[in-house]
Amino acid sequence: MPPDLLGDLQTLVDAELGRIGATAHRGVLTHTVGLITVAAVMLGVLLIAIGVFLHLLATHGPILAGLWVGGGLIVLAALAGAVAMAVAGQRAKKQARARAAMARSLVSSDLSQLLAAIKGEDRGLMVMAGAALLAGIVTGRQGR
C-alpha cells in the first residue's frame, strides 16, 4: 500500500469537513439576511396594499376595493412563487451535476487503483481500493 494513500484520504476528509462547515455557516448567514429582507418587503407590500385599499374604499366601495387589492396580492404572490421555483430548480440542477461529476471522478480514480492493485497482486491495496470504490458508489447514489 502506498504510504501517502492514508494521508491523502485524511486530507480529503479534513477538506470535506471544512467545506461542509463553511457551507453551513454561509447558509445560515444567507438565510438570515434573506429572512430579514423578505420581512421588510412584506411589510412594505402590506402598507402599500392598505393604502391602495383605503383609496379604493373611498372611491369604489368595500367589495370592489377588496377584490382589486386581493387579486393584486394573489398575482404578486404567484409571480414571486414562479420566480423562486425557477431559481431553485436551476440551483438544484447545477448542484446535482457537480455531485455527479465528483462521483464519476472518484469512481474513475478508484477503478484505476483497483486495476493497478490487481495487476500488482498487492492484496492490501486491492482491499483498500475496493472499499474506496464501494464508498464512491454509495456516495454517488446518496447524491441523487
Q: What is the pLDDT of residue 122?
A: 59
Half-sphere exposure at residue 60, Cβ-oriented, CA atoms within 13 angstroms: 12
pLDDT (tens digit per residue) in 66-100: 999 999 999 999 998 888 888 877 777 787 778 77
Contact assessment for residue 140 and residue 103, using Cβ atoms and an 8 Å cutoff: yes
Domain ranges for the chain: 5-142
How does the average pLDDT of the chain come out, rounded? 79
User: Residue for cell digits 414562479?
Assistant: 82
pLDDT at 121: 63
Q: Note the pLDDT tens digit of each residue in 31-48.
A: 899 899 989 999 999 999
